Structure 1
């Protein structure tokens, strides 16, 4: 068995090297691995460092009970007295570019999802080259409708427009890991206890292909997707979301969250799993 070494130079994530895979581990378990600005800055730095260091395969996973609950609502959901659409658009575009760096990374990137993967966290996985999920993982939309045109469009090339809309139109809508594979959002669903070992086994088999060959295989497949407009659509989401953030409806939702608190607001919008498959399972 290959020994694992860990780098602790970050505050919000850690790097673990285990044989051919170097893991970026989102490490804010007390905050559901929420994607704060600080964590995202560290993520970009780590991804850049692993372009030339570490193993031939990069993995992404979350510490604690889940992958990530999405963007830190304390930073992105607060009431703004004077909206700045230009700054908002730049922030949103910067985040998309962080995930496009996964897409453009010279090494294959595997995301391993357990527990929950919500909202902005799904963007990481969409741009990963391969995604493995726990069978009972919960993968879905933001629990509170604070934006639009930023997350679901990135799902559309994987699951199709109708399923992307089905996820997007219901606050907090989600699918489990098994459904994520059926829909094409993920590659494989496995029991949670096996997720890391299965991912590392896949990474080891991938690493048998020389790195330069992996690089060109990844690049060629990405180019075929970009010919269909995937990159353009991803980058266009920043404008759509920044525009919606100026709407009276979003201002009302922000004020509601500020008034009742995050937990109460989430509870107010919470719905059960809303896929037809789940509805049939729940029917008497």
Structure 2
């Protein structure tokens, strides 16, 4: 359980492994950020994948509800911010290999990745409104058009890998058993290029990005803190934990 890293031929694979649904605790997000940043410094491409039933179910809401005060909330928000930023600022391209569900913080990771490969069972969504939070609309907006993003935030609806492929944000949709292979194939293509040029390309593409993803996401987080101060967020999270 935790964050696993393996490297081969100048490619690193960073794997999320927090059973049963890859809902990461606060420390897990920080560990993921550190692993991605280190992998980017030492390799030519990074594959971000996950074990288990789905790619990522976001933050560990149960950790928040069993922790007195706001420390778990603060930890999760800091961890998500660091992990999303680590993907975006990774020195080399990050290829996200997504299977099953990709929710909440999972969308934050994938939306900041350079390339997305998805299995044909993958779905993407933000259940934040139902959980008393806001966030990662910044990153969802990098995957779907503006009005669809708004509808997804308000309704908590999900979209499929095939829909994202139609919008151009998923490069390839493959059978689940071929997911890692397909992600590594793209990583090998990138790793075969001149490393200095690829690193410069990553900096250049971030530099011309029309959205400051770190500032935009931080703005969203501010509303989550406001909702928590009113108590409504705690009610929504507890309802989720209780299965209501």
Pair in the same fold by TM > 0.5: yes
Unaligned runs of 5+ residues in structure 1 are 1-10, 266-284
Aligned to 1:279: none
Aligned to 1:162: 147
Answer whether contact 1:152 1:167 (CA < 8 A) is retained.
no
SS of 2:116's partner is: strand
Within 5 Å, give how 1:130-279 maps onto structure 2: 130-142=115-127, 145-171=130-156, 173-225=157-209, 227-257=210-240, 261=242, 264-265=243-244
1:178-237 per-position Cα deviation (integer Å, ceiling 9, x unaligned): 112223442221221211111111111111211110111111111111x44433212212
Give the C-alpha shift of residue 255 in structure 1. Answer: 4.1
Unaligned runs of 5+ residues in structure 2 are none
Runs of 4+ residues deviating >6 angstroms: none
Give the C-alpha shift of residue 156 in structure 1. Answer: 1.7
Aligned partners of 2:185, 2:213: CA distance in 1, in Å? 30
SS of 1:199's partner is: helix
Aligned residues: CA RMSD: 2.4
Aligned partners of 1:254, 1:42: CA distance in 2, in Å? 24
Aligned to 1:45: 34
Within 5 Å, give how 1:108-127 maps onto structure 2: 108-127=93-112
Answer whether contact 1:115 1:136 (CA < 8 A) is retained.
yes
Say which one has the larger Rg: 1
Aligned partners of 2:225, 2:13: CA distance in 1, in Å? 32
The number of equivalent residue pairs is 244
Give the C-alpha shift of residue 59 in structure 1. Answer: 0.8
Q: TM-score, normalised by structure 2?
A: 0.89
SS of 2:134's partner is: coil
1:59 maps onto 2:59 in alignment:
no
Q: 1:255 to 1:88 in 2, by over 3 A?
A: closer
Give the C-alpha shift of residue 41 in structure 1. Answer: 2.5
